[in-house]
Chains A and B, each alone.
Chain A
C-alpha cells in the first residue's frame, strides 16, 4: 500500500491509501468528534459532526472527515471558525431532539452550543443509524429499521424479530448517543406483543404497518 503525505492542523502526517481523514488524524493524536461513526460498520456520513475543512487545489471545502479518503498533499484543518460554527449549529439541532444526551451535552459545552436554541422536539433519536446498521451489518438480524422520512423519520423494531432476538442481545443500546433510553423504550413496546399476535403491529390497531410500538408505550 502506498504512503500518502498530508497535513492536518499543520502537522505532517503519513497515511496509507484507503484511510479516511478521521483515521489519519487519530494516528497522530488529533481528535475529531464523531457521532454516527463506528469502526466496525460501513462508512455512513450521516451526522456531519466530523466536518473538517480541506484545501483542494487551493480551494477550501467542507467535508465529512469520517468518510473522506486521504489524498496526497491534502491540507486539513479540523478546528476553524467555520468548522466550529457548523458543529455548534448541528449540535443545537440535535439537542432539540435529544436534550438530555450526555454525549451531546459534552460536545455542546466544547462548541458553545445552546441547548435551548431551537424549539424542543424530543424524539430522542438523532438518526445516527448506529442501532439500525449494527443490527443489520454485525448481527445480521435486521430487527430495527427506519420508517418514514425527513423530520418524521424514526426507528422502529420489527416486533416478530425483536421478540425473538433482542432480549438476549441489546448490543445496540450502548451505541445510541442519546442514551439507551429510546431503544429500550421502543423495544419494550415491541416485546409486549407476542409473536403470534404481532401480525397487527405493535400498536394494537388493525393496520399492518408493524410499526410505532413506541407510541403505545408512551
Chain B
C-alpha cells in the first residue's frame, strides 16, 4: 500500500476530522478495502482515536476491513426480487464466481453480497455489478455479464 496516496486523500479533505467518513470512503474506493496502515495514518493525521475509526468502519456496510474483489456483485434478495426468483440468480452468481455471498475469490476478482431491495423492484430480479443495475436478469444471462468483467 502506498501511504502517500493515503496522505493525498487526507490532504484533499484538508485533514478535517469532520471529513472522516468521506476520507474512509475515498480510501475504500481506491483500495477496495481499508488497510490497517491506512486507518492508522488517518487516525494520526486527523487526531481521531482508532477506537472511533474502528466503530465507524465496522458500522457502515460500505466499508470493508478485509480485501475486496475488483468487482462488487450485489444480488437483491428483497421481497419483490425474492418472488421473482432471486434465489436462482444468487445460486447462479455463486456458481459462476465460485464464492458465497459475503465472500471474495482468491484472485480478488469478485466480491458477492446480497442486499435487501435496491429500490427498483419493478426491474426484479435485480443484480448489480459495480453499481450498474441488471434488471429482469435471467440466470442464463449471468455468466456472460460476469465474464465481461476484467
**Is residue B148 within 8 Å, beta carbon to beta carbon, of the partner chain?**
no
Which residues of chain B in 37-89 are interfacial with respect to chain A, using CB atoms and an 8 Å cutoff?
Answer: 37, 39, 49-52, 54-55, 58-59, 65-66
A149 touching B59, Cβ below 8 Å = yes
**Size of A's binding interface in residues, CB under 8 A:** 22
**Is residue B15 within 8 Å, beta carbon to beta carbon, of the partner chain?**
no
- How many Å lie between the Cα of A132 and that of B55 in the bound state? 11
B54 touching A158, Cβ below 8 Å = yes
A147 touching B55, Cβ below 8 Å = yes
B36 touching A142, Cβ below 8 Å = no
B54 touching A208, Cβ below 8 Å = no
Min CB distance B75 to A, Å, is 22
**Size of B's binding interface in residues, CB under 8 A:** 15
Which residues of chain A in 170-200 are interfacial with respect to chain B, using CB atoms and an 8 Å cutoff?
Answer: 199
Q: Given the known A-B contacts A136-B49, A161-B50, A208-B36, are A145 and B65 also in contact in the complex, defined by CB atoms under 8 Å? A: no
Chain B, interface SS category:
helix
Q: Given the known A-B contacts A149-B58, A149-B59, A199-B36, are A209 and B65 also in contact in the complex, defined by CB atoms under 8 Å? A: yes
Min CB distance B6 to A, Å, is 14
**Is residue B139 within 8 Å, beta carbon to beta carbon, of the partner chain?**
no
Which residue, of A132, A146, A208, has the highest number of chain B Cβ atoms within 10 A? A208
B59 touching A148, Cβ below 8 Å = yes
Instruction: Write out the residue numbers on chain B whose beta carbons fall within 8 Å of the beta carbon of A143.
Output: 51
Min CB distance A209 to B, Å, is 4
Closest to A143 in B: B51
**Is residue A144 within 8 Å, beta carbon to beta carbon, of the partner chain?**
yes
**Is residue A211 within 8 Å, beta carbon to beta carbon, of the partner chain?**
yes
B58 touching A142, Cβ below 8 Å = no
Instruction: Write out the residue numbers on chain B whose beta carbons fall within 8 Å of the beta carbon of A210.
Output: 36, 50, 54
Mark contacts of A124-156 with chain B using CB atoms, 8 A cut-off: 1 yes-contact digit, 0 otherwise.
Answer: 000000001001100000111111110000001
- How many Å lie between the Cα of A134 and that of B37 in the bound state? 27
**Is residue A217 within 8 Å, beta carbon to beta carbon, of the partner chain?**
no
B55 touching A207, Cβ below 8 Å = no
B65 touching A208, Cβ below 8 Å = yes
**Is residue B135 within 8 Å, beta carbon to beta carbon, of the partner chain?**
no
B55 touching A142, Cβ below 8 Å = no
Which residue, of B35, B58, B59, B66, has the highest number of chain A Cβ atoms within 10 A? B58
Residues on A lying within 8 angstroms of B by beta carbon are: 132, 135-136, 142-149, 156, 158, 160-161, 199, 201, 207-211
Q: Which 3 A-B pairs have the closest CB atoms?
A: A145-B51, A208-B36, A142-B49
